[in-house]
Amino acid sequence: GAVVSQHPSRVICKSGTSVKIECRSLDFQATTMFWYRQFPKQSLMLMATSNEGSKATYEQGVEKDKFLINHASLTLSTLTVTSAHPEDSSFYICSARDVGVDTEAFFGQGTRLTVV
């Protein structure tokens, strides 16, 4: 099946700094990617939908100025957590849609962000 790669898999940053997470579709073109966040022992919550070449669509309650999403190419979307705070510590997961596959979404392996 199609492969989605996230980088880094784990990152620790200081409070107030920014962190960029990359999501790449390795063997297909993804016009749409999705960013999810998962707190410990909770389910995944969709943060935003990222469309190549256009602005991301954010879910209600997600601050677009804090979670910057860029989808500049058909194989790469990035999520930047700006001015990170300890409450932003979470597991961030991206998924991508392969237009040639109607059956499933493909997920990255996730990025564990810890803000200290």
Site of interaction with another protein (CB under 8 A): 1, 4, 6, 32, 34, 36, 42-46, 49, 51, 91, 93-97, 102-110, 112
Closer to another protein by Cβ: residue 5 or 82: 5
Helices (H), 4-109: none
CB of 63 to another protein, least distance (A): 19
25's CB contacts (< 8 A; 6+ apart) are: 2, 3, 4, 33, 74, 75, 76, 96, 98, 106
Minimum distance of another protein from residue 84's CB (angstroms)? 20
Closest CA to 96 of 33, 19, 18: 33
Q: Which is nearer to another protein, 84 or 106 (CB)?
A: 106
CB of 98 to another protein, least distance (A): 9
Nearer to another protein, 14 or 40 (CB): 40
